[in-house]
Amino acid sequence: MPSPSGELLAWDPVGQKAVWRAKYPVVDGGGVLATGGNLVFQGRADGIFAAYRADSGELLWRFDAGMGIMARPVTYTMDGVQYVTLMAGWGGARG
Ordered structural domains, the chain, with CATH? 6-85 (2.40.128.630)
Count CB neighbours of 52 within 10 A. 23
Beta bridge partners of 44: 29
How far apart are the C-alpha atoms of 54 and 20, rounded to whole Å? 9
Q: Among residues of the chain, what percentage have pLDDT more than 70?
A: 94
Where are the alpha helices (H) located in 16-86, listed in sequence order?
none
Q: What is the pLDDT of residue 27?
A: 78
Q: 9 vs 21, 45, 81, CA distance in Å? A: 5, 16, 29
What is the pTM assigned to this prediction?
0.85
Q: What is the pLDDT of residue 34?
A: 95
Quickly count helices (H) and strands (E) in the chain.
Answer: 0, 8
Q: Does residue 92 have a pLDDT over 80?
A: no
